[in-house]
Amino acid sequence: MPDGSITANYGDTGIAAGDFTDVFDLTFPTGLTSFTVNSTFTTDPHQDINFSSVVFNGHAFNIVSTGQNEFRVLNNISVTAGGAQHLVITGTSGGNGSYDGVIAFTPVTAGVPEPAAWALMIMGFGGTGAILRRRSRMLLPAIG
């Protein structure tokens, strides 16, 4: 996108029966990221996924729903450029489970003042200096 934001999908399918752990190593620039992860099955218990934990860089996802519709979210987590980010999903599968999720990232950049803002700051410093200079003259005793 023009503003540098990114949206991406992730997930896993055909997860064998029993416990599983999926680790996604990601690299983001500096910014904010949010996640969703979900799994839905109809009536076939083999397709069931039960998340035991979903964690991004030590931040646990919030549980929205469990059972037939497992859904977890994590919103507005700050990330810093320069290192890998880790998303770890653990749970159990009924034998042919699957899940998917969405990552949303928005960069955070330091703003650079516009020329008008610079002009106001310079005028402010100049005005402050003039006031202080005038005040110091008024405080000096008369010599005479």
- pLDDT tens for residues 43-82? 788 888 999 999 999 999 999 998 888 999 999 999 988 7
The predicted structure's pLDDT at residue 82:
79
CA 35/CA 14 separation, integer angstroms: 22
The domain made up of 6-107 is a member of CATH 1.20.120:
no
What number of residues does the chain have?
Answer: 144
Burial class of 115 by CB neighbour count within 10 A (0 to 12, 13 to 18, 19+): exposed
* Residues 6 or more apart whose Cβ sits within 8 Å of residue 79: 28, 29, 30, 31, 32, 33, 57, 85, 105
Q: Is pLDDT larger for residue 111 or for residue 31?
A: 31
CA 102/CA 11 separation, integer angstroms: 9
The predicted structure's pLDDT at residue 113:
58
Residue 125, token pair as written in the block: 């410093």
Q: Is the pTM of this model over 0.75?
A: no
The predicted structure's pLDDT at residue 118:
63
CA 33/CA 131 separation, integer angstroms: 47
Could you report the per-residue pLDDT of 99-135, keeping only the tens digit for each? Answer: 999 999 999 876 555 666 666 677 666 666 666 666 5
Domain ranges within the chain, ordered by starting residue: 6-107, 112-144
The predicted structure's pLDDT at residue 3:
75
* Residues 6 or more apart whose Cβ sits within 8 Å of residue 6: 103, 104, 105
